Amino acid sequence: MTLLSAQSIKKRFGGVTALSGADFDLRSGEVHVLLGSNGCGKSTLCKVISGVVRPDSGTVRVKDRLLEDITPRLSRERGVGVVYQELSLVPSLSVAQNILLGMEKVNGLGILRDTKNEEALEEIFSEFRDLFPRGFSLETMVHALTPDLQQLVEIMKVLARDPEILIFDEPTASLSKEQIDLFFGILDRLKAKEKGIIFISHKLEEIFRVGDRITIMRGGKHVGCSTISSITRDEIVHLMVGDIFQSEYRKSSPYRSGRELLGGRGLSGRSIREIDFSLGQGEILGLGGLQGQGQRAFLLTLFGVEPLHEGTLEREGRAVSLKSPKQAMRESLAYISGDRKKYGVFLIRSILENLFISRVILNTMPLFRRKTLKGSADSVIQDLGLVYDTLDRPVSTLSGGNQQKVIIGRWLLNNPAVILMDDPTKGVDVKTKKDLYELMERMCQAGCSVIWNSSDDQELLQNADRVLVFREGRVIRELSGKDLNESTLYRAALGVDDPAEEGR
Amino acid sequence: MKQHIARVLDPTVLVFSLCLVLLAIGQIVSPGFAAPRQIINMLVVASFLGIVAAGQSLVVIGGKNGIDLSVGNLVTFGAIVGGAVMRQQDQRLMLALLAVLFFSFLVGLLNGTGVVFFGIPPLVMTLGMGIIVAATNRFITGGVPVGGASPLLRILVVGRIGGVPGILFWWILIAVLVLVLLHNSRYGMNLYALGSNETAAKLSGVSVVPMRIITFGLCSLLAGLAGFLYLGYLGSVYNITLGDKYTLASVVAVVVGGTALTGGVGGYRGVFFGAIMLQLLESLLITLRMEQFGRNITFGVVLLLLIFMYGRDKKLRM
Amino acid sequence: MVKQFFSLAGAASGVKMFFLKGEAWRLSFLVMLALVAVITAVQPGYILPYNLLVKLRTWLPLILAAYGQTFVILGGGIDLSVGTMIALVNVTAVEVMAAGGFSPPSIVLGLLCGIAAGLAAGAVNGFCVAYLRFQPIITTFATGIIWTGLALWIRPESGGGVPMELYDLYSGQFLFFPLVVWVVLALFGLSWVLKKSSFGVHLKAVGGNAPAAFETGLPVARIRLSSYMICSVFVSLASFCILGETITGNPYAGQGYDLESISAVALGGTSLAGGIGGPVGSVFGAAILKLVNDAIFFLGIPVNFQRLMQGLILVGALAAGGVLSKKNRGKSKDES
Amino acid sequence: AGRGEAKSEGFVIGVSNPWVGSEWRTQMVDRVQEVAQPYIREGFIKEVVVQSFDVPLEGQIDQIRNLISRGADVILVNPADANALNPVIREAVQRGIIVIATDTEVSSPDAINVAIDQAEWARISARWLVDKLGDQGKIVAINGISGHPANTARVRGYTEVFRDASGIEILNQVNADWDNALGQSTMQNLLATYPDINGVWVQDGMAEGALRAIRSAGRDDIYVTGEARVGYLNLWKETGIDGIGVANPPGCMASALEVAVQLLKGRELKDGVLSGPFGNTLYVPVPVVVTNLNFDTVYNEYKGYPDYYSVDGHITPAQAEQFFK
Ligand SMILES: Nc1ncnc2c1ncn2[C@@H]1O[C@H](COP(=O)(O)OP(=O)(O)OP(=O)(O)O)[C@@H](O)[C@H]1O
Ligand SMILES: Nc1ncnc2c1ncn2[C@@H]1O[C@H](COP(=O)(O)OP(=O)(O)OP(=O)(O)O)[C@@H](O)[C@H]1O
Ligand SMILES: [Mg+2]
Ligand SMILES: [Mg+2]
């Protein structure tokens, strides 16, 4: 039975088209996987279904009933439950309050019926109890929980509503292996109860493990729908990225060992442990492994944001202590993040300001003329192939890819020696990606070095001269030369070859 | 097309046009309202608010619920300290100015420290600091103001060059400095970055803590300076609540000038005209012989309309 | 290693829970008791039931205003118009009563009209903030100006010939206990109800993370609107207390109550960012503000130091609260 | 101790002042303490306890209650409202406390008021203005806080006078909240709006602001009323205007103290000395009216005082006795 169908949904955010006519349907008793590259509109589609985003056009039907002017409240009443990618928890409320939020059992006066509520909580929590630390109480405030536990709370919250249609937007991204196993167990049971499940994940093995059908999206609409059993990985990837990605890129000039630009011994911090590394001039050092294993923390530590608890950091042989981004900038470090909305861009400010903020901070003169700034940006803008109208426009009028170029430009203006890149191609299209790869190669030839964290293994292997594989905050392997291939990387990331891991 | 509309609704343009409209209405109902002399009079009255609002806009642009409710008391403080140090003597003018600037800056640093290091919301931190400053005012004066403006200060403020009183030159000078500070200085670029995205600002090298503290300092400093100039206008301090009216008025001028209380946008151009607009409106309502209640209601409604145009929060449902 | 991490987090959350379990008012309660003790030490008569009762009568308006303000702040807003709303309610009630010659029915009608005026004002505030998404601070400041205008329109100056009976009513007894004692008891009762009700949780959810509350399906706008309207009911009651105490129709009644009520809320341990705290603390916060004044008077502190002490105590208490809550504050709503 | 018998440890005098914003109030409080000194020395008065703070109406009620707790025998209040304090005054009087209101009159039958007649005070300068203008001309008025009883009485006073002078036209009346600075800017506005003003009726510190505005607009053809404050007198001297300054004495509370002393001594008021709108007011005379006729004398007497100082006066014990049987 078709539980849900969405037809030709369109949605634009300002200048960006998030959905350009997406179709989707969900049957009862299936896990329907939604797949597509970053920014292709998966989350937006889910939000349209749940009423958080109001579509420009298109229809959503639940059990053949048209949902008009959907609000989250309405969709919930019609049996839709969503685990949002960015979670929808209230940090200052307790776990129990969050789980039951909006569906507490009350008496006629609006007073909570404690025993009933507790029963409901117990029922849901019993399954998850083992995953929570000993002594954990449901009265704990959500903000005190680690991200993985918060994710579990969000899952419990949806289960508590016992919806017929469940949407899970990248729920496994921050979960550990045991947590994921439990989650998949739950999915199986929901399936058995004839619920319809939409599951979003970027991890192909998960998709093949639990999916029944798959819809692949690209550029805001679906480009294919099939049962899992009748599709191969290659076909999926092909559908996801299209034909453009034929020309295999590979960093051409190999790393010529030169001076060490940056090096560290025994670096430990909040989420990194005893990391040794050395970065030679002209080298691209990749950071790999599963996501969230300390790669970002490592970069942020190098950039002076996260505190370094132990170990020494050397810049061209000189011991340095970097306590703030500003100090790191003075040592010619640059930090480019792919999570530009949060870490990079000043959406409401002009392109000019976005470009020059760091340059101006390093200037000796505290004053400047905007005209002069504009002039001095020319070469960098050309280098990047930035497309813009005037530099005084807010950066939010640019597309994501161009916004990303602005951030890269910001750092190029500082003539960096070491570029730290934190998943810089997130939500960037293929052409721009390729431009970026070539730019980095040119930078390396000009004497820079790059440390490159990427969640895209393909990208990592194509660009890096060496890859440090992270696991639980440690570097568990260094790959180079012929080891730079997907299977080695994958095995290392999962700890397959690591004798220490075997006993676990 | 959309961009076209956006440009028409540019707060500075809007507020400026509103000023012209108010002048026109005033001139029609009461000929002479828009006479140069009257305009200058209104500008003089607006100037003090304009200077206080300059500081206020810095704090607001810096974001994180930035607001300074101690400015009114600092205006009084500036006038009182200025008068007490100057004791009507020209040779003590510089000393008095420096004292005012130094101590009001210090108050601002304390505000900033409370906000940054103790996590006190700016609203209550500055409210509490306002009480302390008011108390200090009382303490300095013992309830009875001491000293007064020196002749030179009076000339500098109310003396006229070509019919234009000195205070307007000072205001323009301060406005130019603030505009340069906001749009052509490292500080300004950092401030806007901070207000629009603190995390990104930090990762771009902005020193968040000093920036915030200094911004509160500058705000207080400008309020103190406004008080000092006000002393020149008044001659002596008669009333230890004389600055109170500037506290919320400065916030209103900031909002009317198109600087969102959420931070990161706006600037002094709009606020400059915002201060003038408020004064024009006030004058017009008086000229219309509108009774107090009518003035209040009109004023409130105009304010709500302006908020409707550009003082709104983001939608929850996108 | 992972397990170890968990238990650390668990211990930390235990410490945090101690402060955050909605018990921030404990601190304010202690401060309040301490102030009473200090005053009693120099003025033993202070703690006599008669005196405390009389005190309660003058404090009640601020207590009620702060109580109402708490709802708005918990929901993520702020109301700078409570002071002028007090005036609007006051003159409305007095005018209606006067029209009826202060007969008992007209008094009841006057009170009802007063509440209606308050509710209307609260509804306008709430509508602008919740549905039109106006920024609360500046919006309620603007509406506050309008309330003053309306109050002046209804009654340009104070007076109204309110009979002494109204005072007798306010200071009188009701079911063996003074009326004001009942009111305070009712406030504590209501706090308990709020804590135990789903509305209380929803309000905090909206104040703590409005987008999340919305995504969860809570009627965010309606909740914010009701927070303003609930506030206006308590503000109306505050206005009636002032009326009972001053038996005057006064278009300037309630001056200063806006900022003072906000200070009381902050002193009571409620986060001005919304989502954390509760109205009980505000009762104590309001009492602290009043007690500080009394302490200053009875300790014989010179007039010129009084305000200084007041300011220092306010900032000091806020800083202490800030330090405490900084240790256990939730990730602030929008880190960006 | 009841009235009429001296308390062995002396009487306690309470002072309640709900607004500390102006120097006039400071002078009022200072003056009453000064006048109490001789009585304190002779042991008749034990102490003067002051509650002086910016408070709203209910705050003043709280002040009075604190004074009751503190054991005051007399409470001198400068009331913020004519009616609002009646209940608390009754509370105090029921406990045998003498309550005297000053500056503004309260309607409570339990208290007496000792004050100058604000309406008459306003009439003095209004009459002067009419006189100077020769019964012909356009004037504006700058008032204090709208709704404040003293302001209302004053407006009533001058309105009567101007109404009776047929050739006088009031162009506009604006409230400047007894704020010197606001007075100055309001005057600027008015000048620009009405170029043909002949006279300004203005009071309090606002008068100085208004005069400054008029002078800096280069107008010397406008008659201005004013209040006898040192700053105003200085400006008067400096500009050489033909002016008037009517004293509104901060010493009124000291006068109230003198009356209280008589009451504490057990004396009774003569019949018929009480008058006023509520029939409970003891009017004391306006101490000084400064015009060009006596300007130099007054100026020389007050020359050394600071600008904010009001030309003052209060009744002497002997004058107080005149009111009593
Ligand atoms: N609130 C918003 N305002 C503006 N643009 C938005 C908003 N939400 C999403 N977008 C844009 O819409 C597009 C689709 O985003 P969406 O989050 O749906 O992608 P996604 O497929 O979920 O990506 P990911 O795999 O990274 O989660 C993106 O280009 C994004 O930048
Ligand atoms: N939080 C936000 N608020 C407002 N607008 C946003 C927000 N996030 C993204 N946008 C809008 O999204 C656009 C850029 O987002 P996005 O990353 O989706 O671009 P894109 O379509 O992926 O472009 P490209 O193809 O170059 O990657 C901008 O036009 C901006 O208006
Ligand atoms: Mg997504
Ligand atoms: Mg994109």
- Kindly list the domain boundaries of chain B, sorted by start residue: 45-249+259-265
The CATH code of the domain at A1-79+164-244 is: 3.40.50.300
Contacts of A71 in chain B (CB under 8 A): 317
Angle between helix A114-128 and A147-160 (nearest 10) = 120
pTM value is: 0.86
- Tell me what pLDDT residue A253 has: 62
Chain centroid to Cα C306, Å, comes to: 23
Mean pLDDT for chain A? 86
pLDDT tens for C113-159 read 999 999 999 999 999 999 999 989 889 999 999 999 999 999 988 88
Instruction: Identify which has the larger pLDDT, D202 or D53.
Output: D202
**Nearest by CB: C319 against B120, B300, B315:** B120
- pLDDT for the residue numbered D3: 55
Q: Which residue has the higher pLDDT, D185 or C335?
A: D185
**A425 alpha carbon – ligand 4 mean position (Å):** 9
What is the position in ligand 1's atom list of the atom closest to the CA of B318? 1
How many Å lie between the centroid of ligand 4 and the Cα of residue B283?
52
Which residues 48-67 of D are in CB contact (within 8 Å) with C? 50-54, 56-59, 61-62, 65-66
The burial of B81, by beta-carbon neighbours within 10 Å (0-12 exposed, 13-18 middle, 19 or more buried), is given as buried
Which residue in chain A has the smallest CA separation from C336?
A342
Touch criterion met for C and A (3+ Cβ pairs within 8 Å): yes
Cβ atoms of residues D251 and D312 within 8 Å: yes
Tell me if chain C has a CB within 8 Å of the CB of D81.
yes
Predicted confidence (pLDDT) per residue in A9-27, tens digit? 999 887 678 898 888 989 9
| Tokens matching residue A171 | 């729920």
Q: If interface means Cβ-Cβ distance under 8 Å, which residues of chain C face chain A?
A: 1-3, 5-7, 9-10, 12-14, 16-17, 20-21, 193, 196-199, 201-202, 204-205, 208-209, 211-219, 271, 275-276, 329-331, 333, 335-336
Residue pair A357/B206 in contact (Cβ under 8 Å)? The answer is yes
Closest-approach residue (CA) in chain C for B139: C304
Token pair 């000091």 in the structure block, residue: C316
Q: How many CB pairs under 8 A join C and D?
A: 92
* H-helix segments, chain B: 2-8, 11-29, 36-61, 71-86, 93-117, 122-141, 151-158, 166-183, 186-196, 198-203, 208-234, 245-256, 268-287, 292-310
Give dist(CA C35, CA C148) in Å, integer: 35
pLDDT of residue A503: 40
- pLDDT of B143: 60
Q: What is the pLDDT of residues C296-322, one digit of tens each?
A: 888 888 777 777 887 888 888 778 776
| Closest residue by Cα to residue D232 from D318, D290, D277 | D290
Which chain B positions have a beta carbon within 8 Å of A47's beta carbon? 318
Residue nearest ligand 1's atom 29 by CA? A39
Is pLDDT above 60 for A224?
yes
Bridge partners (DSSP) listed for residue D175: D143
Of B180, B200, B317, the CB nearest to A346: B200
b/e sequence A369-406, b meaning 16+ C-beta within 10 Å: eeeebbeebeebbebbebebeebeebbbbbbbbbbbbb
pLDDT beneath 50: ranges in chain C: 1-6, 15-22, 328-336
CA of B309 to the centre of ligand 2 (A): 24
Is residue D249 over pLDDT 80? Answer: yes
Answer yes or no: are the C-beta atoms of C146 and B303 closer than 8 Å.
no
A297 vs C5, residue with greater confidence: A297
User: Given ligand 1 and candidates A40, A44, A341, which is best to mutate, with the most ligand atoms within 8 Å of its CB?
Assistant: A44
Q: What is the pLDDT of residue C285?
A: 93
Nearest-CA neighbor of A21 among A161, A223, A211? A223
- Alpha-carbon gap, residue D139 to D125, rounded angstroms: 13
Q: Which of A396, A431, A432 to probe ligand 2 with, by most ligand atoms within 8 A of CB? A: A396
Enumerate chain C positions whose Cβ falls within 8 A of a Cβ in D. Answer: 43, 45-46, 51, 54-55, 58-59, 61, 152, 156-160, 162, 164, 167, 171, 242, 245-248, 250-257, 290, 293-294, 297-298, 303, 306-307
Q: Which residue, among A449, A451, A487, has the nearest Cα to A468 in the 3D structure?
A: A451
pLDDT value for A250:
66
Beta strand A466-471 pairing with A474-480 = antiparallel
Tens digit of pLDDT per residue, chain B (318 long)? Answer: 333 333 446 889 989 999 999 999 999 988 888 888 889 888 998 999 999 999 999 999 999 889 999 999 999 999 999 999 998 899 999 999 999 999 999 999 999 999 999 888 898 899 889 989 998 988 887 666 667 899 999 999 989 898 899 999 999 999 999 999 999 999 999 999 999 999 999 999 999 999 999 999 999 999 999 999 999 998 887 777 889 889 989 999 999 998 888 889 889 999 999 999 999 998 888 888 888 889 889 989 998 998 888 777 777 777
Are C149 and B294 within 8 A, CB to CB? yes
Q: Which atom of ligand 2 is nearest to the CA of A401?
A: 26
Contact D146 C157 (CB under 8 A): yes
**What residues in C contact B71, CB-CB < 8 Å?**
none
Instruction: List domains and CATH numbers for chain C.
Output: 31-326 (1.10.3470)
Banded model confidence at residue D150, pLDDT cuts 50, 70, 90: confident
Residues 6+ apart with CB under 8 A from D257: D13, D32, D35, D36, D74, D76
- Write down the residue that tokens 């916060």 correspond to: C285
Closest to D65 in 3D by CA, of C238, C236, C43: C43
Domain with CATH 3.40.50.300 in chain A: 1-79+164-244, 260-494
Q: Atom 12, ligand 1: which residue's CA is nearest?
A: A18
A436 Cα–ligand 4 center, Å: 15
The residues, ordered by sequence, that sit 6+ positions from C112 with a Cβ below 8 Å of its Cβ are none
Residue D149 Cα distances to A72, B61, B113, D251, angstroms: 57, 43, 44, 19
Computed over every residue of chain C, the mean pLDDT equals 86
Q: Is B239 in Cβ contact with D180 (below 8 Å)?
A: yes
- pLDDT, position B145: 63
pLDDT of residue A242: 66
Whether the CB-CB separation of C130 and C228 falls below 8 Å is answered with yes
Query: In the CATH scheme, what architecture does the domain A260-494 have?
Result: 3-Layer(aba) Sandwich (3.40)
Which residue from A342, A345, A358 is facing B205, i.e. has the nearest CB? Answer: A358
| Beta strands per DSSP E along A351-503 | 418-422, 449-453, 466-471, 474-480
**CB contact (8 A) between residue B239 and residue D181:** yes
- Would you state the pLDDT for residue C325? 62
Residues contacting ligand 2 via CB (< 6 Å): A 13-16, 39, 341, 347, 396, 399-403, 427-429
**pLDDT tens sequence across B173-231:** 999 999 999 999 999 999 999 999 999 999 999 999 999 999 999 999 999 999 999 99
According to the model, what pLDDT value does residue C5 have?
44
**Contact C256/C66 with Cβ under 8 angstroms?**
no
Instruction: Supply φ then ψ for residue D266, to 5 degrees.
Output: 90, 10
Question: Pocket of ligand 2, candidates A11, A12, A16, A350: which has the most ligand atoms within 8 Å of its Cβ, to mutate?
Answer: A16
Closest partner residue to D192 (CB to CB) among B41, B143, B289 is B41
* Segment 203-232 of chain D within 8 Å of chain B by CB: 205, 208-209, 212, 216-217, 231
Q: What is the pLDDT of residue A425?
A: 79
Give the residue numbers in B contacting D (CB under 8 Å), as ranges: 30, 32-33, 35, 37-38, 41-42, 44-45, 138, 142-146, 148, 158, 230, 233-236, 238-242, 245, 283, 286-287, 289, 292
pLDDT band at A99 (very low <50, low <70, confident <90, very high): very high
Residue nearest to atom 30 of ligand 1 (CA): A39
- Tell me what ipTM this predicted complex has: 0.85
Chain A interface disruption, residue of C3, C204, C216, most A CBs within 10 A: C216
pLDDT at C332: 38
